[in-house]
């Protein structure tokens, strides 16, 4: 399931060797994963990873996402130095972590911090699907829980952008328990009257969907993002049901009442900004 999501498609920021063979200067051009039209990398980047031809939303890494949302120079990162241990003594896990640290320049699969979106201060977390498929281990859970706690202490709205294959297998049940840790943190934040916004991006599955991703006062998604609890193949194998083509897409979830809105990436910053203003403390007393 995880491999299904991540294995086939490379992120747009990298150029597959196959393209290089077609005489495309490495790093300069990129091919849309959906319509396969080729664009200057710069052009796609300026368009926030949205294909100018077919509107496909390519994955953004954590910092690309932050750049796309925050007022320039306002984002301050929290808990950057938390790193994973190997609690189960899982063979090869440390090497895999090291490889992904080098690949992404991140210490773990989530970046947390605070900054201004359209002038409104928020506490923020964004998952990076490039790090261990965005899976949730102890560090991901801890950083998210800490960000929520800090949001509660400072009475800030909390926004999370999810992108995750689900649990971090190599951390076993400790990974599972991060679902409860983050959910209880959100409960405390919510009880204090603070805002929670979740934006699910491609892909958001498994234990992440079944915890903080679904617990916003508002749950949003990007167009065509894959969002689900169980993997499509597992469902097909166990139930032998025919699944519709749009199964587990953002649009499918919207149709079935599981989302508040599907928001185009180009409208994301502005929409969040308006929503934040509508929830500004004391706004309803004016």
Partner 1 sequence: MKHVLEFERPIVHLKEKIAELKEITKDSEIDLDNEIKTLERKLACLEDDVYGHLKPWERVQVARHPERPTTLDYIKYLFTDFMEFHGDRRFGDDAAIVTGIAFYKDRPVTIIGHQRGKNTKENIRRNFGMPHPEGYRKALRHMKQAEKFNRPVICFIDTKGADPGKGSEERGQSEAIARNLMEMGGLKVPIICIVIGEGGSGGALALGVGDKIYMLENSTYSVISPEGAAALLWKDANLAQRAAETMKITAHDLKELAVIDEIIPEPKGGAHRHIEEQAKAIDQVIESSLKELQSLSVEELLEKRWEKYKTIGDYDIKED
Backbone torsions φ then ψ of 254, nearest 5 degrees: -60, -45
Is 154 annotated in some ligand binding site?
Answer: no
Among Zn ion, partner 1, none, what does residue 54 contact (CB within 5–8 Å per kind)? Zn ion
Which residue, 12 or 131, is less far from partner 1 as judged by CB?
Answer: 131
Q: Least distance in Å: CB of 284 to partner 1? A: 24
Q: Least distance in Å: CB of 251 to partner 1? A: 13
Backbone torsions φ then ψ of 132, nearest 5 degrees: 45, 45
Is 32 annotated in some ligand binding site?
Answer: yes
What are the CA-CA distances from residue 148 to residues 68, 136, 189, 269 (Å)? 22, 16, 7, 21
Binding site for partner 1 (CB under 8 A): 1-2, 81-85, 87-88, 90-91, 107, 138-139, 141-142, 145, 167, 169, 171-181, 183-188, 190-191, 206-207, 209-215, 227-231, 234-235, 238-239, 241, 243, 247-248, 256-258
Indicate the helix (H) or strand (E) that contains 201.
strand 196-205
Among partner 1, Zn ion, none, what does residue 162 contact (CB within 5–8 Å per kind)? none
Indicate the helix (H) or strand (E) that contains 66.
helix 62-69
Q: Least distance in Å: CB of 37 to partner 1? A: 32
Residue 109 and residue 79 in contact, taking contact as beta carbons nearer than 8 Å: no
The string of DSSP codes covering 222-237 is: -TT-BEESS-HHHHHH
Which residue, 56 or 212, is less far from partner 1 as judged by CB?
Answer: 212
Residue 196 and residue 202 in contact, taking contact as beta carbons nearer than 8 Å: no
Here's the x/- map for Zn ion, 23-62, by CB under 5 A: it reads as ---------x-xx---------------x-xx-x------
Query: How many whole angstroms separate alpha carbon 268 and alpha carbon 68?
Result: 9
Is 264 annotated in some ligand binding site?
Answer: no
Tell me the sheet residues that pair with 122. Answer: 115
Among Zn ion, partner 1, none, what does residue 230 contact (CB within 5–8 Å per kind)? partner 1
Q: Under the rule (CB under 5 A), what is the footprint of Zn ion?
A: 32, 34-35, 51, 53-54, 56
């Amino acid at each position: 399931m995880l491999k299904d999501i991540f294995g086939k498609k490379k992120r747009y920021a990298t150029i597959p060797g196959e393209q290089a063979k077609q005489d495309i200067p490495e790093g300069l051009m990129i091919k849309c994963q959906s319509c396969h039209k080729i664009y200057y990398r710069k052009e796609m980047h300026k368009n926030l990873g949205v294909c100018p031809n077919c509107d496909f939303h390519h994955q953004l890494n954590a910092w690309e996402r932050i750049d796309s949302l925050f007022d320039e120079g306002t984002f301050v990162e929290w808990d950057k130095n938390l790193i994973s241990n190997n609690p189960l003594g899982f063979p090869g896990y440390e090497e895999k972590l090291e490889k992904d640290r080098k690949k992404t320049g991140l210490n773990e699969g989530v970046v947390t911090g605070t900054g201004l979106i359209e002038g409104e201060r928020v506490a923020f977390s964004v998952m990076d699907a490039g790090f261990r498929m965005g899976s949730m281990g102890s560090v991901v859970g801890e950083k998210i829980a800490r960000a929520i706690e800090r949001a509660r202490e400072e009475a800030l709205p909390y926004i999370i952008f999810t992108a995750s294959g689900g649990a971090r297998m190599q951390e076993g049940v400790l990974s599972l328990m991060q679902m409860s840790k983050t959910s209880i943190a959100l409960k405390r934040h919510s009880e204090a009257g603070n805002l929670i916004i979740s934006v699910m991006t491609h892909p958001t599955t498994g234990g992440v969907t079944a915890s903080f991703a679904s617990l916003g006062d508002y749950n949003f998604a990007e167009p065509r993002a894959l969002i689900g609890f169980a993997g499509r193949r597992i469902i097909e194998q166990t139930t032998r049901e025919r699944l519709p083509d749009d199964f587990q897409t953002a649009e499918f979830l919207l149709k079935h009442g599981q989302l508040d809105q599907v928001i185009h990436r180009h409208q994301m910053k502005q929409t969040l900004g308006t929503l934040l203003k509508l929830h500004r403390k004391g706004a309803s007393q004016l």
